[in-house]
Amino acid sequence: TYNPLSSYNKGYKNLKEFSQNGEDFCKQVTSILQQRANLEINYSKGLQKLAVKLSKALQTTKKNCLVSAWAWVSEGMKSAADLHQKLGKAIELEAIKPTHQVLSVHEKKKKSLDNEVEKAANLVIGNWNQQLKAKKKLMVSTKKHEALSQLVESSKQTVTKKEKQKLLSKLKKSTEKVAKEDENYYQKNLAGCATRLKWENTLENCYQSILELEKERIKLLYNNLNQYTQHISVFGQTLTTCHTQIHCAISKIDVEKDTQALMEETAVSSTENKSEFLLTDYFVSIEWKEIPLMGNLIHRLSDAFGKTLRAIVKEISYAESQKITAALMDETNLKLDLLQANSYKLSSVLAELEQRPQPSHSCSNSIFKWKEKQQTHSYVKISRPFLMKRLENVVSRTSSGGQRIPSSSSTGNPLPTIIWGWFCW
């Protein structure tokens, strides 16, 4: 079964994989620090016992310069034992305990974020499948309706008035059924855009949340490493060389730079971020283009195009920030791209039916088909970089007066007024 979400969430999956690797590393470091703390505390206890034994031995010995020197040795052992114990306790309290708490919070947060993404993704997949079912149902009803229409037309002169009335009654019910199923299919297709946008926004919000968690984890490791070096520096000259090397490495740490590098490593290029939307397909024959229902569909979608433009003008006038305006522009641009793709698809089918040359359009290379059982489905791929990039592009395009996909008036073959796609049987 085709998965419409496989390409767009690649960046989110990359970040999750990086986050999991970072979490595993953090756990390993914490385990090593715990072993180090245990060693320091145990060593402190052993050194303290030796210091006490030496002190007792000195108490039974006659005082002289040699004994006084050994007394300083005993005091040195006690001081060293105290230093090791403080280091072990500091590692436990300042590094191990906070790290366990942060990792526990992160685990719960990431689980909650994954549930949000999965829930939104299920809505997209569910709507996708509903569209396919509604389309199949509409196709079957349309075929039956056309057959009934032909029967009524061909039997006008051969049936009785009563039989003719029955046929007309069936035709009326069939027309109502096709119209109802068509409206259901149309509404599900519109809902597909909303559910897809909701999933993308959820994905991007979760991406930012995980990025913040990673930034917090990097800061935690930085703080732990910094505190660790501060504690071991008190051990004296023997640790100076090691401390200098570690301190040199710490001085090169830049949290903001590491975070930026993480974003660049896990990001997916804008050319790979392409959202996929189903284009509506209808059963149509050469004779069917004369049915009034087609005119109703054309009028409906032309009206939808006009409403979309009017709505964005109204919403932008009430927008309180450039970011909100850019988001509204992005949403409208997406809708217009879908309408133009459907318009081009319809114009191609009409040109084939009327035996005219095929029209040309910039979206032609973005429309694809695949077969599933006995059905052929059409979908369009539209570039959709992450939200931050999209807003930058929309603001840039708005300020520079950039153009969108060429309109029908710019091509040699005029397109109908934004009409939904059709499937030629």
Cα dihedral value 278, 113, 22, 275, nearest 10: 10
Alpha carbons 300 and 289: distance in angstroms, whole number: 16
What integer is the mean pLDDT of 270-290? 65
User: Which 3 state secondary structure label does DSSP give 3?
Assistant: coil
Look over the chain and give the mean of its residue pLDDT values, rounded to a whole number.
76
- Per-residue pLDDT for 407 more than 70? no
| Both structure tokens of 336 | 């217009």
pLDDT score at 66: 62
C-beta of residue 408 within 8 angstroms of C-beta of residue 354: no
Percent over 90 (pLDDT), the chain: 20
pLDDT score at 135: 92
Greatest Cα pair distance in the chain = 140
Cα dihedral value 285, 288, 290, 295, nearest 10: -110
**CATH number among 3.30.300.350, 3.30.70.100, 2.40.50.140, 1.20.1270.60, domain 5-257:** 1.20.1270.60
Cα dihedral value 212, 218, 224, 230, nearest 10: -120
Q: What CA–CA distances, in Å, run from 395 to 94, 171, 321, 353, 383?
A: 46, 52, 12, 41, 16
Place of tokens 């191609």: 348
Q: At what angle do helices 387-400 and 161-232 cross, to 10 degrees?
A: 110
- Per-residue pLDDT for 4 more than 60? yes
> 30: buried, middle or exposed (CB in 10 Å: 19+, 13-18, 0-12)?
buried
Q: Which of 206, 380, 210, 419 is nearest to 302 (CA)?
A: 419
- Assign 92 a pLDDT band (cuts: 50, 70, 90): very high
pLDDT in tens, 23-82: 899 999 999 999 999 999 999 899 899 989 988 887 887 665 566 677 777 777 787 788
Pick from 52-56, 120-124, 168-172, 346-350: least confident: 346-350
Which is it for strands 423-424 and 283-284: parallel, antiparallel or unpaired? parallel
Q: Which of 383, 349, 333 is nearest to 280 (CA)?
A: 349
Domain boundaries, the chain: 5-257, 270-390
- Per-residue pLDDT for 415 more than 50? no
pLDDT in tens, 317-376: 665 666 667 777 777 788 778 877 877 777 777 777 777 888 887 777 788 887 877 777
Cα dihedral value 338, 341, 342, 344, nearest 10: 160
User: Which 3 state secondary structure label does DSSP give 327?
Assistant: helix
- Assign 406 a pLDDT band (cuts: 50, 70, 90): very low
- Per-residue pLDDT for 132 more than 80? yes
Q: What is the DSSP string of 251-279?
A: HT--HHHHHHHHHHHH---TTT-EEEEEE
Pick from 101-105, 357-361, 386-390: least confident: 386-390
Alpha carbons 139 and 161: distance in angstroms, whole number: 31
CA atoms within 13 A on the CB side of 9: 22
Q: At what angle do helices 255-266 and 161-232 cross, to 10 degrees?
A: 150
- Assign 414 a pLDDT band (cuts: 50, 70, 90): very low
Tell me the β-bridge partners of 274.
383
C-beta of residue 78 within 8 angstroms of C-beta of residue 48: yes
Pick from 26-35, 100-109, 396-405: least confident: 396-405
pLDDT score at 360: 82
C-beta of residue 81 within 8 angstroms of C-beta of residue 51: yes
Amino acid making up residue 387:
L
Q: Which of 327, 303, 325 is nearest to 316 (CA)?
A: 325
What integer is the mean pLDDT of 166-172? 87
Q: Which helix or strand (DSSP H or E) is residue 164 part of? A: helix 161-232
Alpha carbons 76 and 84: distance in angstroms, whole number: 12
Measured in degrees and rounded to the nearest 5, phi and psi for residue 278 equal -70, 140
Alpha carbons 208 and 116: distance in angstroms, whole number: 14
Q: Which helix or strand (DSSP H or E) is residue 115 part of? A: helix 97-154
